[in-house]
């Protein structure tokens, strides 16, 4: 059986995780709504991820909504001592599969409270503001999470889908442990945010790290490098992320046991310096 061979990162300077994590969005139903078609399989995927050495799982209240968090509790409790569970609040979800930002302080407090209940926790290791809300001052949303941290029901605060300016604004209000932005070998618009994270030892969680299978013009190059490592293009894309930055925390998600093992196996691939250079361009 493969095992997670990625090195570690200390979230908030204290929560040590293996840098290859697991994103739990895909364990829900079609359109990220409701129960998955095979609930037993979804739970087995979660359990196998932990068995393979994944000790950082990312989810959100809007995945289901609520389904992903509940399945995590049902599959993984009692939680392993070293398991870090991150969740998010700040997006409303409806049956039309719309994602609607909601950063209202009262809503965030309620979202956090329901996440505690679904996950079966007294405090959440890493609670992330899912997306800035144009109808709510950004500072008000972040200040709410800062208050929850002061109350001891959030250990560390993270942000998602933010700019450098928003990250710096938030850091004036509370210590920011992680940033989760869209990033992959194909999409690097958040390189400036990643640079700040590197300078400040803030974990950077790339969502859509494999671009849902679309790796753009890098695909042919990835295939060439993959052939030398007896790997797939997607494993090379994950290996590149891990070597691209020491604060990178990829969370590839899947509902397939086979894909899960392939993703974890990518943590054991070491790219040569010239291969990294080719992919960095």
Q: Could you give the 3-state DSSP secondary structure of residue 91?
A: strand
Cβ(39)–Cβ(233) under 8 Å? no
How far is it, in rounded angstroms, from Cα 103 to Cα 252? 26
Give catalytic residue positions.
63
Residue 195: which of 245, 250, 249, 129 has the closest Cα? 245
How far is it, in rounded angstroms, from Cα 145 to Cα 222? 40
Measured CA distances, 167 to 15, 173, 200, 249 (Å): 21, 10, 11, 18
Enumerate the H helices of the chain as residue ranges.
39-51, 67-76, 105-119, 138-150, 164-171, 191-200, 219-229, 233-244, 257-265, 273-280
Count of beta carbons in the 10 Å neighbourhood of residue 22:
28
């Amino acid at each position: 059986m493969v095992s997670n061979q990625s090195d570690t990162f200390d979230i908030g300077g204290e929560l040590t995780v293996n840098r290859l994590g697991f994103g739990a969005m895909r364990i829900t139903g079609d359109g990220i709504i409701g129960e998955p078609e095979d609930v037993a399989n979804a739970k087995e995927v979660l359990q196998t991820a932990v068995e393979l050495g994944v000790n950082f799982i990312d989810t959100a209240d809007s995945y289901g909504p609520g389904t992903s968090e509940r399945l995590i509790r049902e599959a993984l409790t009692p939680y392993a001592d070293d398991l870090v569970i991150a969740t998010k609040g700040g997006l409303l979800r409806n049956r039309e599969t719309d994602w609607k930002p909601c950063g209202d302080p009262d809503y965030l407090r309620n979202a956090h409270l329901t996440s505690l209940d679904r996950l079966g926790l007294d405090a959440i290791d890493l609670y992330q503001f899912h997306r800035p809300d144009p109808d709510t001052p950004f500072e008000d949303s972040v200040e709410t999470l800062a208050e929850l941290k002061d109350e001891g029901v959030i250990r560390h605060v993270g942000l998602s889908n933010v700019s450098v300016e928003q990250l710096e604004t938030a850091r004036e209000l509370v210590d920011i442990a992680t940033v989760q932005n869209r990033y992959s070998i194909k999409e690097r618009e958040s390189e400036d945010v990643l640079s700040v994270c590197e300078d400040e030892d803030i974990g950077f969680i790339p969502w859509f790290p494999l671009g849902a299978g679309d790796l753009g013009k890098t695909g042919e190059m990835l295939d060439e490098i993959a052939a030398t490592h007896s790997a797939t293009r997607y494993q090379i894309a994950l290996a590149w992320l891990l070597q691209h930055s020491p604060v990178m925390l990829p969370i590839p998600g899947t509902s397939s046991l086979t894909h899960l093992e392939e993703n974890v196996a990518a943590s054991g691939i070491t790219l040569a310096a010239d291969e990294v250079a080719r992919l960095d361009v």
